A = this chain, B = another copy of it.
Amino acid sequence: MSPSPVRLRDVALAAGTSTKTASRVINGDARVATDTRHRVQEAVDQLGYQVDLMARSLRKGVDDTVGIVVPTIGDPFFAKAIEEIEQMALPRGINLLVASNSRDPKCERKVVDGLLARRVSGLIVTPFSTDYSFLERVVTPVVFLDRHPKGMDVGAVIVDDEGGAYRIVMHLASFGHRRIALLTDDLTIETSRLRREGYVRAMFELDLPIEQELQATWCVDAAQAETCTNDMLDLDHPPTAIFSARSETSLGVVRALHLRRRTDIAFASFGDFATADVLSPAITVIDHDPRTLARRAMEMLSERLDGAPASPVDTIVAVELIARGSGELPALRAVS
């Protein structure tokens, strides 16, 4: 048996109408006599008819789905974003196709093409490193999340990465820190680059030097961040404060600090994470809610689906600094 052996023509037959009229009833077309509508409705219920969405989509030219492409589905930040988008899409009868670009340009292009070939009605993408200029020939609306795409000059829904990082560094400095270390992911990622720029701007304004030995800009995961933190703590002039530009790397830093019992070192994280508030000291963070980001993106996509043109303007989601203790530790031994 096929998934649903009941076709529209079976319903029409049972109701004694044409398939077209049955179709009208199903799609809520007003131009159907109440009596007819009733008969069709009954037949639908009786037979347990369900629209074949493939056929519908073929006919209509678009599928009632939106695709979302993120670097890593398992990352709590993106997982929450996906959840939010699904929650918004569901009531509209829109399904969600989820795909990851696996932090690999080849894969990224393939994934996006695959989604396009599926005739998704829209796409939400966190671009990695693919040149997205090919999208200009495509009519499917695409909204970019968290980062700008390469090769395309369109707005995106992003958080205030540069500003948040700036604030965090200024915050640390206000407690007397001068040797402030930076840990980020790969700088080819826009998010990382911007956060570093915020760090640089703050350091510059503070008249502090950017020391190479206090920069770890390739920390893809927690393990690498842990190693880098350890290396820095072993320096002759170790940092008195650390700024980690991602939740994921923060886990590594926290691990290193705790295992070495160096919780006297000030620490702040761009991105909140579970238990950040129960550690001792609790971790000071810049909070940027993935849900807000996702909501904005989905709202924007909805507008695009309704015909609005792509906006070249960014939607910037504000961030909040949550002081919990770790970022307010003073620089006891102001070194050099």
Contact = CB atoms under 8 A, between A and B. Distances in A.
Interface stretch (A12-20, A132-140, A167-175): A132-140
A79 B80 CA distance: 9
Contact of A99 (B90, B113, B114, B277): B90
A83 interface: yes
A195 B255 CA distance: 30
A214 B98 CA distance: 41
Interface in A248-302: 251, 254-255, 258-259, 273-280
Interface string A83-99: 11011001001011111
Given A58-B55, A251-B275, A278-B255, A4 B72 contact: no
A50 interface: yes
Interface of A is mostly: mixed
Interface residues of A, number: 63
A119 B53 CA distance: 8
Contacts of A44: none
B100 A83 contact: yes
A55 B62 CA distance: 11
Interface in A101-116: 102, 107, 111, 113-116
A189 to B, nearest CB: 19
Given A3-B139, A50-B113, A278-B254, A95 B99 contact: yes
A53, A87, A107: most-surrounded residue (chain B CB, <10 A): A53
Contacts of A58: 52, 54-55, 58
A323 interface: no
A84, A278, A280: most-surrounded residue (chain B CB, <10 A): A278
B74 A83 contact: yes
Interface in A171-229: none
A73 interface: yes
5 contacts: A52-B117, A86-B98, A95-B115, A258-B278, A275-B279
Interface of A: 1-4, 50-55, 57-58, 61-63, 65, 72-76, 79-80, 82-84, 86-87, 90, 93, 95-100, 102, 107, 111, 113-119, 137-140, 251, 254-255, 258-259, 273-280
